[in-house]
Homo-oligomer: A and B are copies of this chain.
Amino acid sequence: MNITIVGLGNIGGSFALSLKENAPEHDVYAIDVNNGSLRSAEQNGIIIQGYTGPEEVLPKTDLIIFAVYPLLLESLVKKYKPHLKEGVILTDVTGIKRSIIKQIEPLLPEDADFIFGHPMAGRENRGLQYASGEVFKGANYLFTPTARNRQSNIDMLFTLVEQLGFKNISTVTPEFHDDVIGFTSQLTHVIALSLINSDDTKRNTKEYTGDSYRDLTRITNINENLWPELFVMNKDYLVEHIDQFKSQMDLLKQAIESEDIDTMQEMMIEARRRYHDLHNLELPELD
């Protein structure tokens, strides 16, 4: 199969690396505006050839992986449409789904099968130089098929990302995706940003931190060109999750202010139960 990756940044580059290592039977190409990235990827042998436009490569491409900012996707699909191979499969890596699907599906030719997906793999640093196939190993992958998609193509993508090392590959509705990602990914970023920005810099906090502060702020090395878009496109779910989080925090704050030890203990026991469930651990008996 001929695969073209659109956007050779961190995620696109990681796909190229991982395909070369784990699925070398495919021929991998790339489209990017950055000639330097393309030449470097060619020299490293992770793509066969790189292109700055769609004309030459798309007519022979069986699978297009869009690894670009969500706001770019619509204009790229419009631009690429005349060059698509009949029966092409397309997929994306965007962190929100409802609005993207609504934008893209009406633009597609009848025979083009866009199966929207979301690899949940770390990407703290930007750019091809930080790409790594390793981040996919054991990570979760969500697909959000729609009525347009063919089951055989969905199955093919499942098999491919399994080959790349993803575990827990799930099929969910676009609505469920945006709800759960709004909680596990977007809310956590909102929290981390608010925490580090609420620090009083006069304190020189870094001299006095333990692991917990470093854990809770790790994801603040954030890409400001990507995340505001994601937050806005999912604002209904995200604001709901922020409000639910704030309600829980207010309950705990009240218990602290009124020195209500029993309520705090109940909250901590519940949290510990959930921690053990999250990590598939048995809850130990404690004294």
Binding site for B on A (CB under 8 A): 120-122, 126, 139-140, 142, 168, 170, 172, 176, 179-181, 183-185, 187-201, 203, 205-225, 227-229, 231-232, 235, 238-239, 241-242, 244-249, 252-253, 256-257, 259, 261, 264-265, 267-272, 274-278, 280, 286
**A24 CB, min distance to chain B CBs, angstroms:** 27
Given contacts A221-B276, A228-B261, A232-B261, 8 further A-B pairs with CB under 8 A are A122-B210, A122-B211, A181-B208, A183-B203, A197-B274, A209-B278, A235-B259, A242-B256
Q: Which of A176, A211, A242, A270 gathers the greatest number of chain B CB atoms within 10 Å?
A: A211
Q: Assess the B197–A228 pair: CB atoms within 8 A.
A: no
Question: With a CB–CB cut-off of 8 A, which chain B residues contact A205?
Answer: 180, 183-184, 278
Question: With a CB–CB cut-off of 8 A, which chain B residues contact A181?
Answer: 208
Q: Say which residue of B215, B224, B238, B257 sits within 8 Å of A269 (CB atoms).
A: B224
Measured in the bound complex, the distance between the Cα atoms of B254 and A235 in whole Å is 11
Q: Assess the A194–B227 pair: CB atoms within 8 A.
A: no
Q: Assess the A270–B197 pair: CB atoms within 8 A.
A: yes
Q: Say which residue of B190, B264, B268 sits within 8 Å of A252 (CB atoms).
A: B190
- Closest chain B residue to A34, Cβ basis: B287
* Known contacts A183-B205, A207-B168, A221-B272; A249/B242 CB under 8 A: yes
Q: Which of A200, A271, A275, A278 gathers the greatest number of chain B CB atoms within 10 Å?
A: A271
Question: With a CB–CB cut-off of 8 A, which chain B residues contact A221?
Answer: 272, 275-276
Question: With a CB–CB cut-off of 8 A, which chain B residues contact A196?
Answer: 271, 274-275, 278
Q: Say which residue of B139, B180, B183, B246 sits within 8 Å of A246 (CB atoms).
A: B246
Question: With a CB–CB cut-off of 8 A, which chain B residues contact A180?
Answer: 203, 205, 208
Measured in the bound complex, the distance between the Cα atoms of B188 and A215 in whole Å is 9
Measured in the bound complex, the distance between the Cα atoms of B77 and A258 in whole Å is 28
Q: Which of A223, A229, A249 gathers the greatest number of chain B CB atoms within 10 Å?
A: A249
Query: Can you spell out 26 A-B residue pairs with CB atoms less than 8 angstroms apart?
Result: A126-B286, A139-B210, A140-B210, A172-B208, A180-B203, A183-B203, A183-B205, A184-B205, A188-B195, A188-B212, A191-B216, A193-B267, A195-B248, A197-B270, A197-B274, A198-B241, A198-B247, A206-B278, A217-B274, A221-B272, A224-B265, A228-B265, A228-B268, A231-B264, A232-B259, A238-B256
Q: Assess the B140–A209 pair: CB atoms within 8 A.
A: yes
* Known contacts A216-B192, A253-B242; A184/B198 CB under 8 A: no
* Known contacts A180-B203, A208-B140, A216-B188; A194/B249 CB under 8 A: yes
Q: Which of A121, A183, A185, A189 gathers the greatest number of chain B CB atoms within 10 Å?
A: A183
